[in-house]
Structure 1
Amino acid sequence: MRGETAGAAQRPIRLVLADDEVMLRRGLRVLLEQGGRIRVVAEAGNGEELLAAVRGHRPDVVLVDVQMPSKDGLSALRDLRAMAAPPIAAVLTTFDLDDYVAEALRLGANGFLLKDADPAVLVRAVIDLAAGGAVLDPRITARLLPRFRNLGDSADEVRLVRTLSARERQVLFLLADGRSNADIGDRLGLTEATVKSYVSTVLGKLGAENRVQAALIAQRVSGCGDGESW
């Protein structure tokens, strides 16, 4: 049993890359597959190809550009969201596409990565996404937070966070740091399954659709400055 578990844990993460720039896709594929942790099972040049690849290959994670011909990344995210068992989706973006990133967040994207990120950062991001983490490039977070600070009622969000138990708040703020379920479990001495249950409860109590939305709520609340230690 131990050997079977270890073997399952070592199964490569199945990834689909969607970007209309062929050379970028090929370069990313080479970088991501180094080390054997990730296997790119398909590439897509537009949203239609992405959806077909997901149906045909059932990947764990999808990296999708927002600007693609025929069917763009946002339209593809809407369709992915409607699937019975959608893969984890992260957006590949550039600094000048903040509006697209904001919409992708509303559509439930679990990660936001910049195309010029260090290769090691991209590899780590895919691994964390597959393990149940939320991935926010710090440069994107810095640009997004000002525009999202006024989304919703901060006083209401503070009230919601205060409804969380002490352990649930710990999970929330570790989640907001971009930690995966496994990392949170190691930090708090919990099993990964227990962390997953806590995360589900936290999302429900906060009314957040995914980890990224919960992370932004946590970051807004931590900046409220009411003097209370969370």
Structure 2
Amino acid sequence: MRLPDHVPVRLVLADDEALLRRGLRVLLEADGRVEVVAEAADGAALLDAVRRHRPDVALVDVQMPGMDGLAALRALLAWTNPPAVAVLTTFDLDDYVATALEVGAQGFLLKDAEPEALVRAVVDLAAGGAVLDPRITARLLPRFRTAGRFRQNPQLDVLSAREKQVLALLASGQSNNAIAVNLGLSEATVKSYVSTVLTKLGVENRVQAALVAHQVGGAW
């Protein structure tokens, strides 16, 4: 999805700490690019807020009372046309983050990220990008190597030169539209390239593809 530049991204913010929600709301709405249309203190309230407000993006804490963020994430991603969903977490919740990655979250952000980074992440998610805080990436990669989720040495030589360009831009969090502008291609062509890259790498979504790209670093 692509929004006109002057239209703020509609966001639902889910976290069981009211003070944190209030602080994040102030930070996110400060420059007008994001509008928090609803807040939720648990997964059930999040689902209700998404039904009522139809936001572009949902930021979801994984640890909440009652229905937690992971259960809500599974429910949301089973809907037709769900919002982009990013997990908002802390350093000590690696197991939750790893599970959220497998469920299909499109972004992973830390609660102590700089305000500009959080706003940019929300805007990129609304545009269709995949967002990974570099500190979370550093924590996730060893876990997935140990679990065998990704190959120790992904063979990126199965990708064409153009597919590698697409993967690099995807890994930086860019949406299909942004990749298209960067490479001088149509958005439909980029969408086809992204689908091919995911298939060749044996991953399920853009975030997993980005992790593969980060795993091999600049060696390709």
C-alpha spacing 1:102/1:44, structure 2 compared with 1 (3 Å): same
Secondary structure of the residue that 2:174 maps to in structure 1?
A: coil
Matched residue, 2:172:
177
Pairwise CA distance, 1:38? 1.0
C-alpha spacing 1:67/1:12, structure 2 compared with 1 (3 Å): same
Asked if residue 118 in structure 1 is aligned to residue 119 in structure 2, the reply is no
Matched residue, 1:30:
26
Pairwise CA distance, 1:177? 2.5
Matched residue, 1:210:
205
- Which residue of the other structure, out of 169, 180, 186, is the alignment partner of 2:181? 186
**Deviations 1:20-54 (Å, cap 9, x if unpaired)?**
01111111111111221111111110000001111
Contact 1:149 1:220 in 2 (8 A): no
Contact 2:3 2:126 in 1 (8 A): no
> How far apart, in 2, do the equivalents of 1:41 and 1:191 lie?
32
Pairwise CA distance, 1:155? 6.8
> How far apart, in 2, do the equivalents of 1:184 and 1:56 lie?
32
Matched residue, 2:90:
94
C-alpha spacing 1:153/1:134, structure 2 compared with 1 (3 Å): closer
> How far apart, in 2, do the equivalents of 1:197 and 1:30 lie?
38
> How far apart, in 2, do the equivalents of 1:85 and 1:94 lie?
28
Matched residue, 2:50:
54
Structure 1 stretches of 5 or more lacking a match? 1-5, 224-228
Asked if residue 79 in structure 1 is aligned to residue 75 in structure 2, the reply is yes
Contact 2:15 2:42 in 1 (8 A): yes
Secondary structure of the residue that 1:149 maps to in structure 2?
A: helix
Pairwise CA distance, 1:179? 2.8
Aligned letter for 1:53?
A
C-alpha spacing 1:201/1:63, structure 2 compared with 1 (3 Å): same
Matched residue, 1:17:
13
**Deviations 1:90-109 (Å, cap 9, x if unpaired)?**
00000111111000100101
Secondary structure of the residue that 1:10 maps to in structure 2?
A: coil
**TM-score (norm: length of structure 2):** 0.90
Pairwise CA distance, 1:135? 0.9
Contact 1:154 1:221 in 2 (8 A): no
Pairs aligned (count): 218
C-alpha spacing 1:157/1:68, structure 2 compared with 1 (3 Å): same
**TM-score (norm: length of structure 1):** 0.86
Pairwise CA distance, 1:198? 2.2
Secondary structure of the residue that 2:65 maps to in structure 1?
A: coil
In terms of Rg, which structure is larger? 1
Structure 2 stretches of 5 or more lacking a match? none
Secondary structure of the residue that 1:147 maps to in structure 2?
A: helix
Pairwise CA distance, 1:12? 1.5
Matched residue, 1:3:
none
Aligned letter for 1:173?
A
C-alpha spacing 1:7/1:57, structure 2 compared with 1 (3 Å): closer
Aligned letter for 1:82?
A
Pairwise CA distance, 1:148? 1.4
> How far apart, in 2, do the equivalents of 1:65 and 1:181 lie?
27
